[in-house]
Amino acid sequence: MLLLVGLGNPGPKYEKNRHNIGYMAVDEIVRRHSFGAWRARFQALTAEGKIADSRILAIKPTTFMNESGRAVGAAMRFFKLAPADVIVIYDELDLVPGKVRVRRGGGLAGHNGLRSIDAHIGNDFRRVRVGIGHPGSKQRVQGHVLSDFAKAELPVMSRVIDAIADAAPILIEGDDGAFMSRVALQVFPPPPKPARPDDVAPPRENDG
């Protein structure tokens, strides 16, 4: 089994905040891959399903962001899993909106959800970092992450969520490079190549 954790804050007040992109992505994975119904356990909402022949427990901690590790740790201990069996999807200030990066371990980058998980299970879990952009100064960070996405950001963030859900089997199989490439192509598709002269059909002669 793998734990697929989406970070966010519970309740309608926070539902569309940038800080809740982890919740949004996990919601779409659960929907797209026909998981079972959400239910409350481990101080979280959880849903079970299968992706790429692996059993998955999707988790949305309901402890608020800075106590996310309590839910992750409880689920991990219950199923006797290791930190390497945990995948966490969360918002990343240091990536532009639409960019997605995956890594195992690493720093906490001031993210309270990661700090809590690290305190409860250690550092060796996989992270799916979803860019939300930086507001430009440290003083504006809290207001930025706890605000809804701007209207201009919504199309790219919708594509990100769809792409993560589409490529979830690649992520579950552990091919992080292929997952990142697939998501990038879907979010930022290359422009169509201009037609070459020999690809253009010659004009037809007028028979009349």
Active site residue 19: yes
Contact 43, 70 (CB under 8 A): yes
Burial code (b: 16+ CB inside 10 Å, e: under 16) for 82-100 equals ebebbbbbbbbbebebbbb
Contact 64, 57 (CB under 8 A): no
Pairwise CA distance, residues 40 & 164, whole Å: 24
Tokens of 91: 């918002």
CA distances from 141 to 19, 54, 95, 97, 133 (A): 11, 37, 14, 15, 10
Catalytic residue, candidates 19, 33, 111, 120? 19
- In the chain, alpha helices (H): 21-32, 68-78, 112-121, 141-145, 154-166, 168-173, 176-187
Tokens of 191: 């422009």
Residues involved in catalysis:
19
